[in-house]
Amino acid sequence: MKLANTEAFESPIDMSQKVGIDTVRKRVFKIAILLLGLLLFIFSIDMLSVSMTKLNSDLAREIFQATNNPFVGLFIGLLITAMVQSSSTVTAMIVAVVASGSISLQQAVPMVMGANIGTTITSTLVAFSYIMRKSEFKKALSAGVLHDVFNILTVLILFPLEIYFGLLSSASSYLTHALFENNTKYASDYAYNVIFTRPLTLWISERIGSPVVLLLLSILLVFVAIKFLSDTVFKTYISSNYTKVSKFIFKQPFWAFFYGVFFTAAVQSSTVTTSLIVPAVANRKVSLLKAFPFIIGANIGTTITAAIAALYKNEAAIALAMMHFLFNLIGALIFLPFTPLRNIPVRISTFIGTESVKTRFVGFAYILFTFFIIPFLLIYFNQDENISEMGWNDVKKNELIINAPKETIPVEPLPSAEPQN
């Protein structure tokens, strides 16, 4: 006589226990993967900082010297971000460069502003997937360029204030000094004595030998780490929940703003979250005006990457992360609370979408002029010698560290040795 299959008689309690154990294991595995991705990101930022410290080539000096001109810095941030399509990656890299002492906080501010504009090209390109459907293309492109218009208007307001008065750099330096004055040493000890990123970074640096190779490797690791974190969090936590909560996200501007901050902070990419808005608006699931607070929130949520990159660095790096947050927060405070001001970016983006439907060339011309031609013209007509005329006095007060006299170790020369250059 054959024995009955014991699995068929397994009690419901045992089955539920197995399901519960499997669920816990999956959650632990997902958390472990996220922690590994976060550690990879922290390690890659530390490696980038070390590589920038060791890099002392003439090319690097010319690049850093070029950032003396705020318009050049704005263009560098815009162009690089448009190429990699991730402001999180670029701002994290800028934080590492500031932490290495290669450029000052004042020089990095325009680069971060440019990165905020450059990252918006992705949602605009997503909108062009609807180009063969006129009715949907109008709304899709309006939603795609809304992020562009908002950041451009914010830069137009805050960029002159930074050039003439040092608004963002001064405010971020003051807040950083006030908040972290007594905690800087603790944060540094925690990073290097507990996480041990710096010993591993120095060991790899010695094995590689070439600062250029180390720089390229660190940039690649930064991009891979952010991409890995973004994809993992989005697939695990956001994609399924977004469909459920999207029904009531846009009912109130506050909730749309809050979810924009939350989703973007989770995936560390405003590119991902703002690109979700394009098909929603194109398919008439949400109006452009109701989607705008979500985009504003996404702008603030993306600053989490720079904050993570800066928390274990020096005060200047923390100040830059603070500046990134203040820039997006001030932009939100300008446009979000006041309906007439909130309508301005919406009307501009709607106009661009309408004109692009009439003449398809308008959409392509918008991308070409916004991300390429206009920045080049600004560089051409604003050379380094005109900085003093623009009133950017902070450049003189905060010169490049790489041009400052370097510390030397006194060594007694041999009697027959010639003086060294």
pLDDT at 203: 83
Q: How far is CA 204 from CA 41, 210, 218, 290, 420, in A?
A: 16, 11, 11, 49, 31
d(C-alpha 351, C-alpha 139), whole Å: 10
d(C-alpha 44, C-alpha 42), whole Å: 6
d(C-alpha 45, C-alpha 43), whole Å: 5
Residue 343 has pLDDT above 70, yes or no: yes
Between 21 and 8, where is the model more confident?
Answer: 21
| pLDDT tens digits for range 169-199 | 999 999 888 876 655 454 444 444 345 567 7
Residue 249 has pLDDT above 60, yes or no: yes
Residue 258: helix, strand or coil by DSSP? helix
Q: What is the band of 37 on the pLDDT scale with cuts at 50, 70, 90? A: confident
Most confident of 17-21, 25-29, 106-110: 106-110
pLDDT at 335: 93
211-233 vs 87-100: helix crossing angle, rounded to 10: 140
Q: What is the band of 264 on the pLDDT scale with cuts at 50, 70, 90? A: confident
CA dihedral of 167, 99, 296, 136, whole degrees rounded to 10: 130
pLDDT at 306: 76
| Mean per-residue pLDDT, 391-418 | 40
Percent of the chain with pLDDT over 90: 20
Residue 413 has pLDDT above 50, yes or no: no
| pLDDT tens digits for range 202-239 | 788 888 878 878 888 887 887 787 677 666 666 665 55
Task: Decide: 40 and 228 in contact? Cβ < 8 Å.
Answer: yes
Between 142 and 276, where is the model more confident?
Answer: 142
d(C-alpha 78, C-alpha 72), whole Å: 10
Mean pLDDT of the chain: 75
Q: What is the pTM of this model?
A: 0.72
Between 90 and 398, where is the model more confident?
Answer: 90
Q: What is the band of 62 on the pLDDT scale with cuts at 50, 70, 90? A: low
pLDDT at 172: 92
H/E stretch holding 379: helix 374-381
DSSP string, 63-91: HHHHTTSHHHHHHHHHHHHHHHT-HHHHH
Q: What is the band of 420 on the pLDDT scale with cuts at 50, 70, 90? A: very low
List own/partner pairs for 395-398 with CB under 8 A and 24 or more apart. 395/68, 395/106, 395/107, 398/104, 398/105, 398/106, 398/107
pLDDT at 162: 94
pLDDT at 389: 43
d(C-alpha 43, C-alpha 48), whole Å: 9
Strand segments (E) across 256-322: none
Residue 305 has pLDDT above 90, yes or no: no
Residue 56 has pLDDT above 60, yes or no: no
pLDDT at 156: 94
Residue 244 has pLDDT above 90, yes or no: no
Residue 414 has pLDDT above 60, yes or no: no
Residue 250 has pLDDT above 60, yes or no: yes
pLDDT at 15: 60
pLDDT at 112: 93
d(C-alpha 397, C-alpha 169), whole Å: 13
pLDDT at 13: 56
| CB burial string 67-106: b at 16+ within 10 A, e below | bbbbbbbbbbbbbbbbebbbbbbbbbbbbbbbbbbbbbbb
d(C-alpha 7, C-alpha 248), whole Å: 44
Q: What is the band of 379 on the pLDDT scale with cuts at 50, 70, 90? A: low
pLDDT at 47: 79
pLDDT at 14: 59
Residue 281 has pLDDT above 80, yes or no: yes
Between 54 and 189, where is the model more confident?
Answer: 54
